C-alpha cells in the first residue's frame, strides 16, 4: 500500500500516518520529521531547511524530492509506505508520479478556523519529540514532558503568524494536489474534524471499500 496524506498543516496527518503505518505495517515517512531531525543534527540540509521552515515557507523542491526518492528506494519500503507531508507542490507530485504509482491520496479535511485553534495549543518536547496540546493532550505536569522531563516548547513554525503563513502556502501550493489526485481517481477525502479514532476508521473503510 502506497499512500499519500494530504491536508493542511495541523489537520492531523502525522497522527493518522502513525496509526495507518501501524495498521498496514509499512513505514511512515514524514518530510517535516526528516527536516527536523537534520536540523537537530545541524546537517547542511537541516540548516538550509530551517531558513524556510521558520518562515512557514516550503523547502525548495530540489532539496526535497531527491530526499524522498532515496527514502522510498530503501528496503523497508518494498511493501509500501505512507508519505506524510509529501508531495506538497505539483512539481513534487509530478516527480513522484514519474517513479511510482501510489494507491491513494487521503485528504484529511479540516476548516481553517479549526486549524488555527489546534495549532495555537500545540507544544512539543524539544528533547524526545513527544507532541502535546494544551487542550487535548495535556502533560501530567504543566509544561513538562511526561516521557523525559524536558521543558515543552512551541515549535517556531507553530507560532501564530507562521501558522497563518503556512495556511496561505498550503492553499496556494498544496491544495491544487487535491485536483491532481482527483483526476487520477485516487483521492480519498475524510472529515478531519472527527475524533482521531473515527478519522482512522473512516480512512481504512474508504481504502478497503
Contacts with ligand AMP by CB under 6 A lie at 9, 31-32, 35, 52-53, 57-59, 64, 85-86, 88, 92, 157, 166
Q: Is residue 36 among the annotated active site residues?
A: no
Q: β-strands 104-109, 131-133: how paired?
A: unpaired
Smallest gap, in angstroms, from Cβ of residue 205 to ligand AMP?
25
Instruction: Report the residue number, 119 or 188, with the smaller CB distance to ligand AMP.
Output: 119
Instruction: Report the residue number, 85 or 192, with the smaller CB distance to ligand AMP.
Output: 85
Residue 206's contacts (CB-CB under 8 Å, 6 or more residues apart) are 106, 188, 190
Instruction: Report the residue number, 86 or 181, with the smaller CB distance to ligand AMP.
Output: 86
Cell match 524539544: residue?
Answer: 126
Catalytic residue among 13, 19, 36, 50: 13
CA 76 to CA 164: how far, in whole Å? Answer: 36
Instruction: Report the residue number, 62 or 208, with the smaller CB distance to ligand AMP.
Output: 62
Catalytic residue among 48, 155, 165, 186: 155
Residue by residue, DSSP assigns 88-152 as -SHHHHHHHHHH---SEEEEEE--HHHHHHHHHTEEE-TTT--EEETTTB--SSTTB-TTT-PBP
Q: Is residue 48 among the annotated active site residues?
A: no
Catalytic residue among 19, 36, 88, 118: 88
Residues serving a catalytic function are 13, 88, 122, 155, 166
Amino acid at each position: 500500500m502506497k499512500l499519500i496524506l494530504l491536508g493542511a498543516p495541523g489537520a492531523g496527518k502525522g497522527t493518522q500516518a502513525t496509526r495507518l503505518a501501524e495498521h498496514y505495517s509499512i513505514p511512515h515517512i514524514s518530510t517535516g520529521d526528516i527536516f527536523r531531525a537534520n536540523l537537530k543534527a545541524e546537517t547542511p540540509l537541516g540548516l538550509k531547511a530551517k531558513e524556510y521552515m521558520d518562515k512557514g515557507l516550503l523547502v525548495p523542491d530540489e532539496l526535497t524530492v531527491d530526499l524522498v526518492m532515496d527514502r522510498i528506494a530503501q528496503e523497508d519500503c518494498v511493501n509500501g509506505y505512507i508519505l506524510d507531508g509529501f508531495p506538497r507542490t505539483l512539481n513534487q507530485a509530478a516527480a513522484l508520479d514519474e517513479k511510482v504509482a501510489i494507491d491513494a491520496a487521503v485528504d484529511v479535511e479540516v476548516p481553517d478556523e479549526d486549524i488555527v485553534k489546534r495549532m495555537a495549543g500545540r507544544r512539543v518536547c524539544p528533547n524526545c519529540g513527544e507532541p502535546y496540546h494544551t487542550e487535548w493532550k495535556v502533560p501530567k505536569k504543566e509544561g513538562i514532558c511526561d516521557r523525559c522531563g524536558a521543558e515543552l516548547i512551541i515549535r517556531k513554525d507553530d507560532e501564530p503568524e507562521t501558522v497563518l503563513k503556512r495556511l496561505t502556502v498550503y492553499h496556494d501550493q498544496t491544495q491544487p494536489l487535491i485536483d491532481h489526485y482527483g483526476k487520477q481517481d485516487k483521492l480519498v477525502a475524510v472529515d478531519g474534524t472527527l475524533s482521531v479514532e473515527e478519522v482512522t476508521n473512516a480512512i481504512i473503510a474508504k481504502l478497503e471499500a
